[in-house]
């Protein structure tokens, strides 16, 4: 059956979404045909404004509506404990735990096979954050900054974690001032943080080393 062009075009766009196949895309489009006009217009308006109304937090690079995200603006959180994650979805998952530090979102992992190098993810901004924090704590012998490497347990996640650890040491940050830990093995090898349950994430945070 030949669909009208607009339906075919919408199906093609839905198929480009992760996890959406041809049949699912068709069901979604035909389901939307039954939306009331007002809801359909509102849906289209939100999609059209998605990138216009969002930006990366100037501090942690998470998705935000403001220049500084709500987590980085929260003075009750421990801003000297930085959890380094791969994507904003990891932040969403980890916020379901009792973690009260802050985050740094890389927006990717080092993957030479996909032509993704260190300069293609947000590592430089992480170093800048550490420089500022170290300046704050250097006169307080009882204070330190903790960097928790929470990349996924797959090959790219492990190699990125090793690269970050080496980078921090190469920049001359003293081990007594910048402590580096790795998220614990509560997560299965090859598993993604965004799909983990709350208890698994909590154990992984508690067993970091």
Q: How many CB atoms lie within 10 A of CB 52?
A: 7
Same domain, residue pair 86 and 25: no
Kindly report, residue by residue over 134-190, the tens digit of the pLDDT.
988 877 777 899 999 999 878 999 999 999 999 999 999 988 899 999 987 666 666
Q: Give the count of alpha carbons within 13 A of 20, CB side only.
A: 15
Helix (H), strand (E) at residue 14:
helix 5-15
Whether 111 and 196 share a structural domain: yes
Whether residues 82 and 26 share a domain: the answer is: no
Q: Tokens for 6?
A: 């607009």
CATH number of residue 14's parent domain: 1.10.8.420
Is the model's pLDDT at 127 over the cut of 90? yes
A 10 A CB-CB count for 157 gives 24
Residue 190's pLDDT is 67
- Are 35 and 108 within one domain? no
Q: Within this chain, do residues 123 and 158 fall inside the same structural domain, yes or no?
A: yes
Q: Are residues 105 and 187 located together in one domain of the fold?
A: yes
Quick one: 19 and 99 in the same domain? Answer: no
Looking at the structure, do residues 35 and 103 belong to the same domain, yes or no? no
Q: Are 184 and 194 in contact (CB under 8 A)?
A: no
Torsion angle of C-alpha atoms 188, 189, 195, 201, degrees rounded to 10: 50
CA angle at residue 158 from 202 to 97, to 5 degrees?
15
Q: Residue 197 has what pLDDT?
A: 77
Residue 88 lies in a domain: yes
Q: What is the pLDDT of residue 1?
A: 64
66 within some domain = no
What average pLDDT does the structure give for the chain?
Answer: 91
Residues 87 and 147 in one domain: yes
Q: What pLDDT shows up at residue 187?
A: 64
Rounded Cα distance, 57 and 67, in Å: 5
Residue 122 reports pLDDT greater than 90 = yes
Report the percent of the chain where pLDDT is more than 90.
76
More confident residue, 192 or 98: 98
pTM (predicted TM-score): 0.83
Query: Tell me, what's the pLDDT at 183?
Result: 85
- pLDDT for the residue 198: 79
Domain that holds residue 157: 74-206
Give 60-81 pLDDT, tens digit per residue: 999 999 999 999 999 999 999 9
Q: Please count the structural domains in the chain.
A: 2
Q: Is the pLDDT of residue 43 over 90?
A: yes
Burial class (CB in 10 A: 0-12, 13-18, 19+), 165: middle
The answer to whether position 62 is within a domain reads no
CA angle 208, 76, 171 (to 5 degrees): 50
Q: Supply the Cα-derived Rg of the chain in whole angstroms.
A: 21
């Amino acid at each position: 059956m030949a669909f009208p062009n607009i339906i075919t075009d919408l199906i093609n766009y839905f198929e480009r979404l992760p996890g959406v196949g041809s049949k699912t895309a068709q069901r979604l489009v035909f389901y939307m045909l039954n939306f009331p006009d007002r809801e359909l217009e509102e849906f289209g308006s939100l999609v059209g404004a998605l990138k216009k109304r969002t930006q990366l937090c100037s501090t942690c690079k998470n998705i935000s509506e403001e220049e500084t995200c709500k987590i980085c603006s929260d003075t009750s959180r421990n801003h000297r404990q930085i959890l380094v994650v791969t994507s904003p979805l990891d932040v969403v998952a980890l916020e379901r735990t009792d973690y009260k530090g802050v985050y740094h979102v890389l927006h990717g992992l080092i993957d030479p096979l996909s032509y993704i190098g260190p300069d293609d993810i947000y590592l430089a901004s992480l170093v800048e954050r550490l420089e500022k924090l170290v300046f704050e704590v250097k006169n307080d012998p009882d204070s330190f900054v903790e960097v928790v490497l929470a990349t996924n347990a797959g090959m790219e996640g492990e190699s990125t974690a090793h690269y970050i650890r080496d980078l921090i040491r190469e920049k001359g940050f003293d081990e007594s001032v910048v402590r580096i830990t790795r998220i614990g093995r509560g997560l299965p090898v090859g598993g993604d943080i965004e799909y983990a349950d709350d208890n698994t994430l909590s154990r992984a945070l508690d067993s970091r080393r």
